[in-house]
């Protein structure tokens, strides 16, 4: 038994070394390697550009697929439905219930995969290149899972239930790998969480002196620091608007963005991926961002010092 264990460990070390993974665990090492596979850029870059061209910034369909109306990315909950249906299919197959039940659940998962993929590809098209590489492999693995499940459904409908079950279990394996890659993309590479949420929690309560009013250019946004927090600051005469400067989507510098009017309300457009935020309260007007930009209350003292504090709920 000891020799067998040593042999297995030796083979694992050899595999990690051959893949250039060093001391990293095999799954983490592989995902890190995927981030740096430049050979797939010849597919990734044109595909992302095509999606962005077909779904222009600010279009209602694009905002819907990003999840702007709900305030949360649309892709994760849709993916949960498909994966949940496919997992339930495996359970139903294992306990050998009425085949019609597993077929209905399986078909539901397949149907939900279509809007899930549409939302995922829309989000993917505006990620950083390393994130897009992992997302591309994630999509290929999930497409494999979808193919296996579709084949399983066809076999079941033709009466070949045993073969259909075997194909479904293979699909569950592929979907599990796809889920792992999706988790790596969302949590380790921070492709899903808001990048602006921590800002207000890092600012102590109360008013804080920021700068002098007349040191701010009129009508042009600038970045100012409050401790180690970067703020977007815009002055119009004696009125000042202040937001967190790092875009909630992927931390782009808002002070370098364009000022626009949306429904007669002043907004700023992130220079990186086009997220549009209302200056009054940081609300999302257009995606890809779904989380609002933290806004700050402003007080201009009689001596011209601009004071800020996080906006109260």
pLDDT, tens digit, 9 for 90 and up, residues 2-17: 445 555 455 555 544 5
- For residue range 281-291, list pLDDT tens digits in order: 999 999 999 99
| Least reliable range by pLDDT among 48-52, 142-146, 161-165, 203-207 | 203-207
Strand, helix or coil for residue 54: helix
Residue 19 has pLDDT above 90, yes or no: no
**pLDDT for residue 113 is more than 90:** yes
Residue 204, pLDDT score: 79
According to the model, what pLDDT value does residue 177 have? 94
Question: Which pLDDT score is estimated for 16?
Answer: 47
pLDDT in tens, 213-222: 999 999 999 9
Instruction: Count CA atoms closer than 13 A to 80's CA, side-chain side.
Output: 6
Q: What mean pLDDT is predicted for residues 70-95?
A: 94
Q: For 64-69, which contacts have Cβ atoms below 8 Å and span 24 or more sequence positions?
A: 65/118, 65/119, 65/122, 65/123, 66/119, 66/122, 66/123, 66/287, 66/288, 66/289, 66/290, 67/119, 67/287, 67/290, 68/284, 68/286, 68/287, 68/289, 68/290
Using the structure block, give the residue that is written with the tokens 């086009």: 274
Decide if pLDDT at 265 tops 50: yes
Give 254's DSSP letter: G
Question: Is residue 288 reached through a cis peptide bond, with omega within 30 degrees of 0 on the bond before it?
Answer: yes
Residue range 224-237: average pLDDT? 92
CA–CA separation, 260 vs 266, rounded Å? 6
- Joined together, the tokens standing for residue 254 give 């808002």
Structure confidence at residue 96 (pLDDT): 81
* Mean predicted confidence (pLDDT) in 109-124: 96
Write the CATH number of the domain with boundaries 198-310.
Answer: 2.102.10.10
Identify the pLDDT of residue 293.
94
Of 14-23, 48-57, 82-91, 234-243, give the lowest mean pLDDT range.
14-23
d(CA 288, CA 63): 7
Of the candidates 237, 277, 238, the one whose C-alpha atom is nearest the C-alpha of residue 260 is 277
Where b means 16+ CB within 10 Å and e means fewer, 268-299 reads bbbebbbbbbbbeebebbbbbbbbbbbbbebe
Distances (CA, A) of 220 to 215, 223, 282: 12, 10, 17
Give residue 24's pLDDT. 52
| pLDDT digits 0-9 by tens, 197-209 | 777 777 878 899 9
Rounded to whole angstroms, what are the CA distances from 151 to 59, 96, 112? 35, 19, 16
Q: Where are the beta strands (DSSP E) in 14-91?
A: none
Whole-angstrom CA distances from 208 to 221, 227, 248 are 20, 10, 23
SS3 content of the chain, % helix, strand, coil (to 5): 55, 20, 30
Over residues 235-242, mean pLDDT: 94
Apex CA 231: angle with CA 311 and CA 220, to 5°? 110
- Mean pLDDT score across all residues of the chain: 89
Contact 36, 130 (CB under 8 A): yes
Find the angle CA(169)-CA(170)-CA(172) to the nearest 5 degrees.
Answer: 65
Name the percent of the chain lying above pLDDT 70: 91
Give the DSSP letter string of 260-294.
EEETTEEEEE-TTT--EEETTT--EEESS--SPPP
At 299 the pLDDT is 94
């Amino acid at each position: 038994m000891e020799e067998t264990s040593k042999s297995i460990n030796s083979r694992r070390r050899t595999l990690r070394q051959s893949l250039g993974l060093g001391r990293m665990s095999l799954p983490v090492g592989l995902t890190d390697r995927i981030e740096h596979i430049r050979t797939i850029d010849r597919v990734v870059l044109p595909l992302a550009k095509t999606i962005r061209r077909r779904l222009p910034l600010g279009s209602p369909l694009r905002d819907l697929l990003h999840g702007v109306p709900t305030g949360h990315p649309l892709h994760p909950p849709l993916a949960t439905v498909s994966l949940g249906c496919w997992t339930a299919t495996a359970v139903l197959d294992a306990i050998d219930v009425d085949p019609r039940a597993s077929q209905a659940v399986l078909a539901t998962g397949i149907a939900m995969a279509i809007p899930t993929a549409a939302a995922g590809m829309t989000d993917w098209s505006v990620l950083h290149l390393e994130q897009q590489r992992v997302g591309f492999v994630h999509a290929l693995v999930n497409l494999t899972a979808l193919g296996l499940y579709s084949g399983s459904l066809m076999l079941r409908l033709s009466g070949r239930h045993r073969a259909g079950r075997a194909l479904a279990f293979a699909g569950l394996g592929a979907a599990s790998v796809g889920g792992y890659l999706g988790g790596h993309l969302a949590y380790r590479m921070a492709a899903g969480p808001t990048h602006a949420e921590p800002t207000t929690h890092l600012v102590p309560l109360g008013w804080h002196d920021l700068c002098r009013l007349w040191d701010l250019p009129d009508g042009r946004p600038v970045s100012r620091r409050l401790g180690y927090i970067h703020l977007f600051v815009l002055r119009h005469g004696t009125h000042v608007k202040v937001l967190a400067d790092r875009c909630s989507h992927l931390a782009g510098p808002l002070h370098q963005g364009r000022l626009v009017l949306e429904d007669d309300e002043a907004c700023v457009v992130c220079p990186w991926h086009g997220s549009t935020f209302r200056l009054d309260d940081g609300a999302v007007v257009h995606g890809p961002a779904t989380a609002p930009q933290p806004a700050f209350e402003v007080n201009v003292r009689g001596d011209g010092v601009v004071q800020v504090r996080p906006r109260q709920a």
